[in-house]
Amino acid sequence: SSSSSSFGLTRSTKNTATTRLNAYTNQAVCSSTHNSSTGNGIVGIGRTTLSNRAPLSCPLRLKSVNFNSSRVVGVVPCRAQLTETSLPSESDLYWQNKAKKTALVTGAAGGVGFSLAESLAKRGFSVVVCDIDEGRITAAEEYLNATYGKGSAYATVCDVGSTESVDALAAFAQDKVGDLDIWINNAGRNGGKIPLWEQTPENLAGVVGCNLMGVLLCTRSAINVMKKQSGRGHIFNVTGSGVKGEATPGWSAYGATKRGMPQMTKSILKEMDKYGGVENVSLHTMSPGMVFTDMLLSDATPNERKFFDILADEPEQVGEELIEKVLPIAASETTGENIQYLDTPRILQRILSPDLVKFLAGLAFPQLKIAPGKRIDADGNRIRREGEEYRENGVKVMFKGMEERKSGL
């Protein structure tokens, strides 16, 4: 419902609407919806006219306008002040209007998985978090609920390579949060930096069981859960090094499992089209790139660490940006998207930066102790910031209880 405002504009109980602005040198004429709580009109996409009144097509960003006049009847003086407060996007409105937002993240007891879960929790999601390490996943749950409110996180232990464990995870999620909007298959293992001929069969089975069988079982379970829901559900499978076929020496099993992810995802998408019955389920891939986690820093040489300092970022930065990319997709009916954090423009920007020159100079003249120096010093050690806690391998502790990992390496 709407009524006339004291400004001669249209008042609406909603805070967003489409507005057309025709700006002139001495006045701006607005047809607008009015924000009844602030008394501010909304300026939107329109045509502007310069001082010589030559028309200019101007796709203005939607901004709020603060009126400095005591009496305005359809005409706003030119001293109206434009601010940089943008109207919400369609994705923002979708999630704001949703009565309940839910997600599930596997491998969430640290690193990227925890950061993804935290980025969702801070946006009001109820997030089911799981990991094979009971102590750390319980500590993660406690931190998220203490920080973002009770019901922000529900933790359970899950071995994603076990059918029974994954089925139990799905049942747990449905019991705690109901329908799932987002399911992120993040759990992964690299098995340590060891050449294949020195790997134990048990270690190889653990890597393949978690990274490949685990994603197959979790995707299967997620589809079976989501296809029964009234609303759409989105599944995101996390990729890693080796996904494009590049060599991963020391991590041959890990790289092979990640290389298979795109093919597996394409096959499942084709199955969804061919066999039907899952029209309300979307499947995507997500690539975090290089992140300062156990997988990256454990067993890395000093020179490798210094190179990582050029391309890698902290888990919280990566998780936040990935969720910013996830949410618009998960608010739509699209499927088959591939989200990347360390994309080609970002790689080029960093490779062509002075950091690479510093790294190469440090290799050529080690006595000079030169390195990019953002997070790793010239000796290959983690630079420890005041007020932050780090594990022995240089991984930043993100919550109390993350100090040591008992299992799942």
Question: Which residues are marked as active site?
Answer: 254
Query: How far are the Cα atoms of 94, 110, 182, 293 from residue 408, in angstroms, in the given order?
Result: 37, 11, 24, 14
* d(C-alpha 219, C-alpha 166), whole Å: 10
Judged by DSSP in three states, 405 sits in: coil
Judged by DSSP in three states, 75 sits in: strand
Is residue 225 within 8 A of residue 233, CB to CB? The reply is yes
- Where are the strands (E) in 110-238, listed by range? 126-131, 153-157, 182-185, 233-238
Is residue 307 within 8 A of residue 359, CB to CB? The reply is yes
Query: How far are the Cα atoms of 164, 218, 258 from residue 214, in angstroms, in the given order?
Result: 12, 6, 12
Residues in the chain: 409
* d(C-alpha 128, C-alpha 137), whole Å: 10
C-alpha distance across the termini of the chain, in Å: 58
Amino acid at 260: G
HSE of 315 in the Cβ direction (CA atoms, 13 Å)?
25
Task: Give the Cβ contact number of residue 76 at 10 Å.
Answer: 24
Nearest to 131 by CA among 407, 392, 333: 407
